[in-house]
Amino acid sequence: MSLTARQGAADQARNRTFGPLYSRNARAVISRGMKATMGGHWLVMLSGFFEPVLFLVSMGVGMGAIVGAVEGPDGTPVSYAAYIAPALLAVSAMNGAVYDSTWNVFFKMNFAKLYQGMLYTSLGPLDIALGEIFLALLRGMLYATGFTAVMAMMGLITTPWALLMIPASVLIAFGFASLGMAITSFMKTFQQMDWITFIMLPMFLFSATFYPLTVYPQPIQWLIQAMPLWHGVELLRQISVGMFTAATPLHIGYYLVMTAVGMLFTTVRLRQLFLK
Amino acid sequence: MHNEAILPSTANKAGGQAPGTVITAENLTKTYGDVAAVDGISFSVRAGESFGLLGPNGAGKSTTMKMIGGVTRRTAGNLRIMGLDPDSHGPEVRAHLGVVPQQDNLDEELRVRDNLLVYGRYFGLPLSYLKPKADELLEFAQLTDKAKSKVDALSGGMKRRLTIARSLINEPRILLLDEPTTGLDPQARHILWDRLFRLKEQGVTLVLTTHYMDEAEQLCDRLIVVDKGRIMAEGSPARLIREHSTREVLELRFGSERNTTIAAELDGIGERLEVLPDRVLIYADDGESALEQVASRGLRPLTSLVRRSSLEDVFLRLTGRSLVD
């Protein structure tokens, strides 16, 4: 029994395509994450869900009362809450993914020594990276689903297309999670980790989240359009009203490239970090 | 046990690894920048053997262990674990290894039994195998009544036993133990030694690093003494004592003032004389007769003690008494 099981694992490892980096067992990392979450900090996870909801209520309903209707993505007027809701969803996908792939990973890597234990088994660094990113995405999807439900309850959803915001949020989370993990692998101290917050906060505030991009002079617009969050905000805003333009595949492409680059970097870095 | 089933096929790929040999290191070297942490060491370990790496801090013991596990790549030299190169076949090699790291890295977010189950999943083992195995290992580690406890509620000795239980989840053929009893109280150490001895009886190959000489004498069939990345001596504990020390040691205290001037007056007694700040050691095969010679020269030590030579004497002789930072 035990023997065949172990040889099975070894055979599996022999067929792998990523050398000593990958043994096709990311699911073990995933089930570990699920068990850890169920056993402890699932309450903490809820805070990540409520944050954008609170923003939506305070800004959308509160500010919305004095702002009134604004011009929607397709030119027709929409309520201010309906305008910012998709943007907040993009922000929450970013926040969830970045938190899971940066602070969480940083802690497990440097303090809990969790990955060191894992790497003394048949697991390779890529199993760990894929598993952790999958967990971040799962969390992002749960947030997105919950937030979309809140939007529906507030009467902000007017088309079935809006359901596509959920998979789109997962794509956004994927981009941020893979890049976030790559960046975290360079971090040595808590002070360096603070830089992540330092970049994310302005990105949240200025990526056309609360008002259209056109308020900025052209050079600033270019800068913001180069940043990832703007593409997420625009993508979800378009989906929320079911209006697709030539820019839609561009936004999606931005995240596909970001994901690929992030995964590549993460793998290279993990090799350097763990297979010294 | 199950060892024979895999051994022949893997040994064939060894490229010269003798049958029954599970670890072969030739000229194994690891450098970090200009510093050689491991500087060309060669050794081999037979199946079922209990093999020790002794050395002061920074001698290169842990680095050697990491290279065996394939989590640190060697700079030069040859290394085969059951016929496989751990650098290129890390996951396969580790499938047959159990690792007890220097510092416990148990999963604090999981409960005691889950630590075993989840760790087993990392090897790709099915739950139908893992569940009874986890219970068996909890029994072995004397932790059955702690199965549902949180890890941080365990004592140091319990955590160590859980780490060892965890390392056995894949029925490893080689168990790597990096300073297994450092930081434990005597009771916990003795329980641990007992468990390790049972594993050895079951045919598990043990490779352990330690700087506790009594531990090495208790557990190791054979050991190497390493210092500054090089092998200083190799052999069984008894043989090392025979080769590098005398049968007995006479320890004399004359008080710290007298201590420094006494060496000349003791000259010629025993095979070797060592003056320490607080006492004088005379290495002799017959400690009692050495003590008689001391008395016949009219010298009156404050205290005297005749004891058997230990591995510690060998160790200090080979690696020096100065502090290693």
Q: Which of A43-57, A184-198, B22-36 shows the highest mean pLDDT?
A: B22-36
Name the pLDDT band for B3 (thresholds 50, 70, 90).
very low
- HSE toward the beta carbon, residue A216, CA cutoff 13 A: 16
For residue B215, how far is the Cα from the chain centroid? Answer: 7
- How far is the C-alpha of B46 from the C-alpha of B42, rounded, in Å? 14
User: Taking Cα atoms as reference points, which of B173, B153, B18, B191 lies closest to residue B94?
Assistant: B173
CB contact under 8 A, B92 and A114: no
ipTM given for this complex: 0.81
Q: Which of A48-52, B190-194, B306-310 has the lowest mean pLDDT?
A: A48-52
Name the pLDDT band for B2 (thresholds 50, 70, 90).
very low
Residue of B nearest to A127 (CA): B122
User: Taking Cα atoms as reference points, which of A147, A136, A145, A210 lies closest to residue A173?
Assistant: A136
CB contact under 8 A, A36 and B123: no
Predicted pLDDT at A193: 85
Name the pLDDT band for A194 (thresholds 50, 70, 90).
confident
Q: Using one digit for the tens of pLDDT, what is the confidence trace for B106-159? A: 999 899 999 999 999 999 999 999 999 999 999 999 999 999 999 999 998 899
Rounded to the nearest angstrom, the minimum Cα separation between A9 and chain B is 6
Predicted pLDDT at A18: 61
CB contact under 8 A, B110 and A36: yes
Residue with tokens 């949180």: B150
Burial of A160 (0-12, 13-18, 19+ CB in 10 A): exposed
CB contact under 8 A, B71 and A275: yes
When CB atoms are compared, the residue of A16, A41, A120 closest to B94 is A120
pLDDT at A14 over 50: no
Supply A67's token pair.
Answer: 């702002």
Predicted pLDDT at B5: 38
Mean pLDDT value across residues A149-172: 94
Radius of gyration of chain B (CA): 23
Q: In Å, how far are A14, A106, B6 from A7, measured between CA atoms?
A: 10, 33, 9
Supply A39's token pair.
Answer: 């056993």
| Residues across chain A | 276
Kindly report the backbone phi and psi dihedral angles of residue A210, in degrees, each rounded to the nearest multiple of 5, phi listed first. -110, -10
Q: Chain B interface, mutation test: which of A34, A121, A271, most B Cβ atoms within 10 Å?
A: A121
Predicted pLDDT at B183: 79
Rounded to the nearest angstrom, the minimum Cα separation between A261 and chain B is 25
CB contact under 8 A, B107 and A123: no
What residue ranges in A54-185 does DSSP mark as E strands?
69-71, 77-79
HEC per residue, A1-60 = CHHHHHHHHHHHHHCCCCHHHCCCCHHHHHHHHHHHHHHHHHHHHHHHHHHHHHHHHHHH
pTM for the structure as a whole: 0.82
Predicted pLDDT at B324: 52
Rounded to the nearest angstrom, the minimum Cα separation between A275 and chain B is 5
Q: Using one digit for the tens of pLDDT, what is the confidence trace for B165-189? A: 999 999 999 999 999 888 788 888 8
pLDDT at A251 over 70: yes
Does the CA dihedral A145-A148-A150-A153 come out positive or negative? negative
Task: Give the list of residues 6+ apart from residue B218 with CB closer than 8 angstroms, or none.
Answer: B193, B197
